[in-house]
Amino acid sequence: MESRENSQHAAKLFGTDGIRGRANAFPMTVEIALALGRAVGTIFRSHPGKHRVVIGKDTRLSCYMYENALIAGLCSMGVDTLMLGPLPTPAVAFITRAYRADAGVVISASHNPFCDNGIKFFSSEGFKLPDAWERQMEDLISRGPEVFEEYLPKEQEIGKNSRINDADGRYIEFVKATFPRKLSLKNLKIALDCAHGAGYKVAPLVFRELDAEVFVYGNVPNGLNINEGCGALYPELVQKAVIDHRADVGIALDGDADRVIMVDENAQIVDGDAILAICAKDMQQKGMLRSSRVVTTVMSNLGYVNALQGLGIEVVKSQIGDRYVIQEMLKCDAILGGEPSGHIIFSEHNTTGDGLVSALQVMRIMIETGSKLSELAAAFKRYPQVCINVKVNTKPPFEQLDGLKEVIQEVETALGIAGRVLVRYSGTEKTCRVMVEGPKRNSVQQFAESIANVIRKQIGVLH
């Protein structure tokens, strides 16, 4: 019966960022984690030679059981595993490349609360696995545990597990190497929020070893407090810290430290759009922005898009999700891309978003130009934008929701070319996201609420 249940669910394991869900509930069960390990091992067994996979995680209590299940599944198929312990997602991508491993695995639900968890994979080059690999894994799992029996290795070929003891130090040195050796952070005060997540050990060390004065928050994880009122989703904590310590800059990471939200010396938020624009302008002025092109998503603010285009920079838009930003960057030969959420990809440094690398690039520009962060951000005008997250029970096609098409058309007509509307379901949560952007904040708020109310009435979660 269990294998038949797995078969019914298997086609929907992977979302936009690996597998994610509530811990100890489908699809985030120990059984699925074990099957994933075996599926990856089976794929590797079709190629000759010995194989190894790097495994990292964030600080969630549930990470232990998934880590052990993945290791058991991989080793049972003859694959060696290398444990990193709690370490940022971009560190896993880096270590995977450094060790020339066949793949890397990250156990994390990123910015989600502790009760959720997820599993995502990197290829040997440090990129998210292609959709074809995910479909192959889903197909194998859907056929039940018996499918793996013919691929089981002989006793002497079973894989072994090892721990990489110097992973933290390797990653710290890698991040510091993205910052010019001739520069120092010694004159900067930094308020740093690690979200009680994967960056809690390495992040403070990076900035302190570059001589900054660092005031650290969110660095005491207990397995249950990751992202709890702190980190990139709750920048209020670091905003207050900037004021309390009269800091020059605030840095808020998310649970797996692949995204960053910054705060200027006046405690004003500098989001991913602003960080991308600041860095793109700097690189363009130095002749370092290959093809004079950056990649953003459809969520990026029109104000920043128009400003970048005014600097002679082509803005290419991708689907929402850092994996799609990276795919578009590879496709159009761009070396810089990102999302408003703070996923910024500097492809000459890393193959995925890296909150620490992104923050260092901004502080490099501050030092080289002698500018405060507020001054760098003031060069770009942000259009008022309202985003409303509606918790939903189901995700039917939008055309099945009565009146939704009509209200969206009314809003789009009212905004004209000066604004836009975006309504989409989250790829990782039971949430519908409503975004409206335009020149006047009051009207933008009203427009967004009118759309969200239509969705709430029909599929919203009742409280």
Q: Look at residue 6 and tell me whether its pLDDT is greater than 50.
A: no
- In whole angstroms, how far apart are CA 114 and each of 31, 108, 224, 431? 20, 9, 5, 18
The length of the chain, given as a count of residues: 463
- When pLDDT is averaged across residues 225-236 and rounded to a whole number, the result is 97
Residue 280 structure tokens: 């793109």
β-strand 431-437 against 385-391: which pairing, if any? antiparallel
- For 308-364, the pLDDT digits (tens) are 999 999 999 998 888 899 999 999 999 999 999 999 999 999 999 999 999 999 999
Residue 224 structure tokens: 């249950």
Are 260 and 320 within one domain? yes
Q: Which residues contact 351 (CB under 8 A, 6 or more apart)?
A: 93, 97, 122, 125, 126, 127, 326, 345
Are 401 and 342 within one domain? no
Residue 462 structure tokens: 């009742």
Q: Which helix H or strand E contains 386, and what residues bound it?
A: strand 385-391
Tell me, what's the pLDDT at 5? Answer: 40
Tell me, what's the pLDDT at 11? Answer: 54
Are 109 and 151 within one domain? yes
- Which of 343, 377, 411 is where one domain is finished? 377
Tell me, what's the pLDDT at 440? Answer: 85
> Can you list the positions of beta strands (E) in 242-287?
249-253, 260-263, 269-270
- When pLDDT is averaged across residues 452-462 and rounded to a whole number, the result is 94
- For 98-122, the pLDDT digits (tens) are 999 999 999 999 999 999 999 999 9
Are 399 and 364 within one domain? no
Q: Which helix H or strand E contains 162, and what residues bound it?
A: strand 161-163
pLDDT-derived band at 3 (thresholds 50, 70, 90) equals very low
Tell me, what's the pLDDT at 179? Answer: 98
Beta bridge partners of 386: 436
- Determine the Cα–Cα distance for residues 73 and 165; give it in Å rounded to an integer: 22
CATH number at residue 440: 3.30.310.50
Among the listed residues 452, 358, 382, 427, the one whose alpha carbon sits nearest the alpha carbon of residue 128: 427
Q: Which residues contact 210 (CB under 8 A, 6 or more apart)?
A: 176, 179, 184, 185, 360
CATH number at residue 32: 3.40.120.10
Q: Look at residue 8 and tell me whether its pLDDT is greater than 50.
A: no
Are 160 and 178 within one domain? no
Are 161 and 175 within one domain? no
Are 285 and 433 within one domain? no
- Determine the Cα–Cα distance for residues 145 and 155; give it in Å rounded to an integer: 19
Average pLDDT, the chain: 93
β-strand 79-86 against 51-57: which pairing, if any? parallel
Q: Which residues contact 230 (CB under 8 A, 6 or more apart)?
A: 193, 195, 196, 217, 218, 237, 252
- For 253-279, the pLDDT digits (tens) are 999 999 999 999 999 999 999 999 999
- Determine the Cα–Cα distance for residues 383 and 113; give it in Å rounded to an integer: 30
User: Catalytic residue at 123?
Assistant: no
Tell me, what's the pLDDT at 381? Answer: 87
Are 79 and 9 within one domain? yes
Q: For 39-53, 68-82, 376-390, which range has the lowest pLDDT when averaged over its residues?
A: 39-53
Residue 257 structure tokens: 């430290």
Are 293 and 358 within one domain? yes
Is 0.75 topped by the overall pTM?
yes
Q: For 19-23, 218-222, 297-301, which range has the lowest pLDDT when averaged over its residues?
A: 297-301
> Is the previous residue joined to 113 through a cis bond, with omega within 30 degrees of 0?
no
Question: What is the full DSSP assignment across 292-351?
Answer: GEEEEETTS-HHHHHHHHHTT-EEEEE-SSHHHHHHHHHHHT-SEEE-TTS-EEETTT-S
- In whole angstroms, how far apart are CA 421 and each of 23, 168, 436? 34, 43, 5
- For 31-59, the pLDDT digits (tens) are 999 999 999 999 988 787 789 999 999 99
Tell me, what's the pLDDT at 463? Answer: 58
- Determine the Cα–Cα distance for residues 287 and 24; give it in Å rounded to an integer: 50
How many DSSP H helices and E strands does the chain contain?
A: 15, 18
Residue 86's domain comprises 2-165
Collapsed DSSP state (helix, strand, coil) of residue 210:
coil
Are 360 and 271 within one domain? yes
Burial class (CB in 10 A: 0-12, 13-18, 19+), 381: exposed
Are 392 and 285 within one domain? no
pLDDT-derived band at 128 (thresholds 50, 70, 90) equals confident
Tell me, what's the pLDDT at 46? Answer: 78
Secondary structure letter of residue 397 according to DSSP: -
Q: For 123-132, 296-305, 410-419, 444-453, which range has the lowest pLDDT when averaged over its residues?
A: 123-132
Residue type, 240: K
Burial class (CB in 10 A: 0-12, 13-18, 19+), 236: middle
Given the residues 76, 108, 110, 300, select the one marked as catalytic: 110
- Which of 361, 377, 393 is where one domain is finished? 377
- Per the structure, the count of domains in the chain is 3
Are 185 and 326 within one domain? yes
Residue 81 structure tokens: 């595993």
- Which of 330, 347, 377 is where one domain is finished? 377
